[in-house]
Structure 1
Amino acid sequence: MSEVLKDEYSTDYQAGQDNITPLGLDLHKTVFFVTAALIIFFVVGTLIFPDVSNSMLNGAKTGAINHFDWLFLISGNIFVVFCLALIVLPVGKIRIGGSDAVPEFSTMSWFAMLFAAGMGIGLMFWGVAEPVAYYTDWYGTPLNVAPNTPEGASLALGATMYHWGLHPWAIYAIVALSLSFFAFNKGMPLTLRSAFFPIFGDRVWGWIGDIIDILAVLATIFGLATSLGLGAQQAASGLHYLFDIDSGISTQIAIIFGITCVALISVVRGLDGGVKLLSNINMALAAAMLLFVIFAGHTLGVFEAIGTTTSAYFSNILPLSNPFGREDETWFHGWTVFYWAWWISWSPFVGMFIARVSKGRTVRQFVTAVLIIPTLITIVWMSAFGGSALEQIQSGVGSLAADGLTDVSLAMFQMLANIPLTAITSFLGIILVMVFFVTSSDSGSLVIDSITAGGKLDAPTQQRVFWAVMEGAIAAALVFGGGADALKSLQAGAVSVGLPFTFVLLVMCYGLYKGLNNERALINAGMK
């Protein structure tokens, strides 16, 4: 029995690494060169044939959303239940990296990094716009609730929280825990293919693993480039709103260039002096902004909104999670199913980064921190920003009340315009948007570099520099060559990847549970 347990996860992954080391680099030649060729082909094709690519990719996205809505929602529910089970099951005592492993980062720094990489930028963009959109029937209402009513306001906050709460973080947690467990407990490379070793065995070091890693790199870099381009447009809109600076292509490319330059500095400084430092700064600034909105705005209303958001979220989580017999199809497909596909397509990037910085935590600590704590903080954030915006609309105050949601990239600034020190808080908002993108670019470069180096944790710095430049170059090229349409095509492509990755994550759940049970058996047998 002991021998079987000992050999179940034994492997010689070096035989399948296929790495080359020219000019001091360390590259997995299949993953690196195939990925590079596909990226060039995709970007050039999008710029030369924008209408064709836009039609094809949006068609793929629409088909995935309309025909597989049930799969996305059922899978999302499975992921949440699976993660909650890991917290209470005996396998929760297993420590990532082994019983003697200690955390590399303090709890606050660790949490700041996973939150900044996970969805910090999204909270800046959608914290106001999303509940306002649901309340005013900008693109459908959740569960067909009547817009512009007290019930509509409550469900707007609850549905927004549903999209940013347990479900997306469960998706990230599964990928992150799988990768960290197989890398730090089983000695496998930190790359997506390792999570499939319980299923495919040593075959993951061959073409099967190559395909998995190539898809992960494409989803990561396209998602990051899309977000960088769209974020540049939001920042440019904010600068135009505040200072009347032209928000055209030149300004957007200048913002992308600036973000990329700062990301390069962070990359060169390394994980501890780069991403960790910027993430801590980000969280401090975000906390300051959150407290200011709470106490300088309608304080009592914000605390009431926290109760409303919490109640509406948990009381409606089951009907919002049901994919069958929905009467709110426009809203359901345009928001929930799109979000689930987007979170899943981002899971290789965010999951691998969280895995990289999570050694030394127990499974129970890990899942609690990745799943529960961000959900609680997001409730406060959405209640403060979204609740303040809804209160302004209901009171007839400001441009959101007068004109409605005309531009989602300006919604946060329009809400802040009715709170004291508008210029300072709005400028801080722009800074936060930019710094969140720097941390995303830096952490994304680290993830892509690790995958294209065959799972190495210490690949040469110049490789991360290369990928950081590539992210900025792709975003700038698409903004310059095709504008918003090209970025939306890229986004549609990234979302379409969410469909096959849904099956990947379901298989990953099985492999992770099997691996954890094996580890527990080894520990109980005194072999670890």
Structure 2
Amino acid sequence: MDDMTKKYSIDTTDYQVGQDNVQKWGFDIHNPVFGISAFLVVLFVILTLVFDPTVTRDALTSTKDAIINQFDSYFMLLANAFVIFCVILAFSPLGKIRLGGAKARPEHGYMSWLAMLFAAGMGIGLLFWGVAEPTAYYTGWYHMPMGVEPNSAQAHSLALGATMYHWGLHGWAIYAVVGLSLAFFAFNKGLPLSIRSVFYPLFGDRAWGWLGHIIDILAVLSTLFGLATSLGLGAQQATSGINYLLGTDYGTAFQISVIGLVTCIAIFSVIRGIEGGVKVLSNVNLICAFILLLAVIALTFSDSIPAVWFTLGAYVEHFVPLSNPFNRPDEDWMHSWTVFYWAWWISWSPFVGMFIARVSKGRTVREFLLVVIGLPTLLSLVWMGVFGNMAITQVIEQVGPLGQNGLTDISVTLFQVYEQLPFSSFISIISIALVLVFFITSSDSGSLVIDGITAGGKIDAPVPQRIFWATVEGVIAAVLLWVGGSQALQALQSGVVTTALPFSIILILMCVALIQGLLSEYPTYKAQSKFQ
């Protein structure tokens, strides 16, 4: 054993996955993570039923705003650092190391792998923010970045560049740091697929004690509440789309019915597991998204292709200015959009990162980073270029509801844009179906992540446990909508974002632990590669 291997050696012979677990009622319960997480979730639901959601929303929103305002430069610098870290690591000699060992091979093909990355990560957001966000920037609906005049040629470029900036490299770099760290320590070092495992090189056996318990509990709550928020907001958006298309006036009861439908399908999916459930739905998702994208490109061909190149140029042009945490011509815009986005991606990183790790065994570090960061960014670029430019063009030409009235209701902006296309009703129906499938894949992939954490890092938790957490997600979303509507969901969203501050420290430590782990693996990789 050479000096490097000795220095960073990780001995896991005294730890077995699930050694602290209790098998009861068909569950595989990891003490005390499962019990405390479940208790805090029940407590939250009870408090929501008892107290005025407006008070809760105001308190949590104030906390969120204070964190964003005080740590804005920190979040900006940190997001930049993660991009740089991933690029350097990908092209370093350590990038040749394979997740799972030199003989490991990928368990999923590229198409299915990309589909699961996209469905679990940001897929649903592109449908609504792909048209609403560029329009908001272009028209100055809620501040204008970089002091640019709204409705100008410069605003057109900046609107698409800023939107792509928020949905591009930075967000996926955050997810990649978590995903790569978890995948490496689970598949190369044999540790549980749980957040705490990453900290074994730094804290030793304390990672299996209360320090690890707290980290995993935070990950469970952040994932669960983030998914519940997304599910509730998605039900509202889907209902708004249906009301807009059909001229109906469905309200909270219908939204809860949507949540119930999504939850039932998600339960069926998690019962079937990765191969028979999540993977199948993710592939359906990607196929439907491509059909929708190609249909819109075909109907707007003369504008769509140049728009993609224009968006790429805008992204490159504004990448560095928007990344500068000390350039603040409009600080309110930076806080409301960029810093909020970075905090939201960080708060979601335990869920998305762990799911990405779970489906990435057999990939090299370089392949992992380039695909996880590069391909979704490229797909987002095409999507934002086509849909975002289509929306801005309608505003410039003052055609359709969006062009004539501007942004009025973000949840129906997509359908307003469709009105100017042939076959608009058919395209709208596809979009609503795609929204629902995206929420199902987010729910079932998130449930599998929570199952694993609360089972002590086991890859396959018992079926009753999968059903339990998938059901809890739906119940939380339904209760919030029933009791407090949008105010309760906004309160929960603010609460999730506040977890970004402690998780940001966890991500920094992950980078340190990952480098230590990869350095310990590199001599083994070189020795094995000589005989291949």
Scaled to the shorter chain, the TM-score interval is over 0.9
Distance 1:523 1:393 in 2: 56
Name the counterpart of 2:78. 75
The farther-off stretch of 179-188 and 514-523 is: 514-523
Name the counterpart of 2:11. 10
Distance 2:341 2:332 in 1: 14
Q: Compute the displacement of 1:393 (Å).
A: 1.2
Distance 1:269 1:496 in 2: 34
**Structure 2 residue corresponding to 1:288, chosen from 280, 291, 308:** 291
- Post-superposition Cα deviations, 1:72-121, rounded to whole Å, max 9, x if no partner, equal 10000000001111221001100000011111111100110011100100
Specify every segment of 5 or more residues in structure 2 that has no aligned partner in the other structure, as ranges. none
| Distance verdict in 2 for CA 1:17–1:59, change over 3 Å | farther
- Post-superposition Cα deviations, 1:229-282, rounded to whole Å, max 9, x if no partner, equal 000000000000001232310110010011011111111222111010000001
SS in 2 for 1:21: strand
> Is 1:233–2:232 an aligned residue pair?
no
**Structure 2 residue corresponding to 1:250, chosen from 230, 249, 253:** 253
**Structure 1 residue corresponding to 2:64, chosen from 61, 65, 69:** 61
Name the counterpart of 2:401. 399
Q: Compute the displacement of 1:216 (Å).
A: 0.3
Q: Is the 8 A contact 2:181 2:198 kept in 1?
A: yes
Q: Compute the displacement of 1:24 (Å).
A: 2.7
> Is 1:145–2:148 an aligned residue pair?
yes
Name the counterpart of 1:196. 199
> Is 1:332–2:338 an aligned residue pair?
no
Name the counterpart of 2:493. 491
Name the counterpart of 1:98. 101
Q: Compute the displacement of 1:3 (Å).
A: 8.4
- Post-superposition Cα deviations, 1:131-155, rounded to whole Å, max 9, x if no partner, equal 0000111111121211111110111
The farther-off stretch of 96-105 and 245-254 is: 245-254
| Distance verdict in 2 for CA 1:30–1:389, change over 3 Å | same
Q: Compute the displacement of 1:396 (Å).
A: 1.4
Q: Is the 8 A contact 1:135 1:156 kept in 2?
A: yes
Superposition pairs for residues 119-518 of structure 1, below 5 Å?
Answer: 119-297=122-300, 299-518=301-520
Q: Is the 8 A contact 2:281 2:441 kept in 1?
A: yes
| Distance verdict in 2 for CA 1:364–1:527, change over 3 Å | closer
Distance 1:77 1:232 in 2: 33
Name the counterpart of 1:36. 38
Q: Compute the displacement of 1:44 (Å).
A: 2.0
Distance 2:351 2:453 in 1: 10
Specify every segment of 5 or more residues in structure 1 that has no aligned partner in the other structure, as ranges. none
Q: CA RMSD in A?
A: 1.5
SS in 2 for 1:26: strand
Distance 2:191 2:177 in 1: 17
Q: Is the 8 A contact 1:16 1:206 kept in 2?
A: no
How high is the TM-score relative to the length of structure 1? 0.98
SS in 2 for 1:338: helix
Amino acid at match of 2:487: D
SS in 2 for 1:208: helix
Amino acid at match of 1:141: M
SS in 2 for 1:465: helix
SS in 1 for 2:499: helix
SS in 2 for 1:116: helix
Distance 1:295 1:358 in 2: 34
Amino acid at match of 1:336: T
Q: How many correspondences in the alignment?
A: 527
Q: Is the 8 A contact 2:174 2:349 kept in 1?
A: yes
Distance 1:325 1:231 in 2: 34
Distance 2:395 2:125 in 1: 22
| Distance verdict in 2 for CA 1:155–1:439, change over 3 Å | same
Amino acid at match of 2:407: L
Distance 2:230 2:241 in 1: 16
- Post-superposition Cα deviations, 1:430-452, rounded to whole Å, max 9, x if no partner, equal 00000000000000000000000
Distance 2:31 2:247 in 1: 48
SS in 2 for 1:173: helix
Distance 2:4 2:156 in 1: 58
Q: Compute the displacement of 1:335 (Å).
A: 0.5
How high is the TM-score relative to the length of structure 2? 0.97
Q: Compute the displacement of 1:372 (Å).
A: 0.9
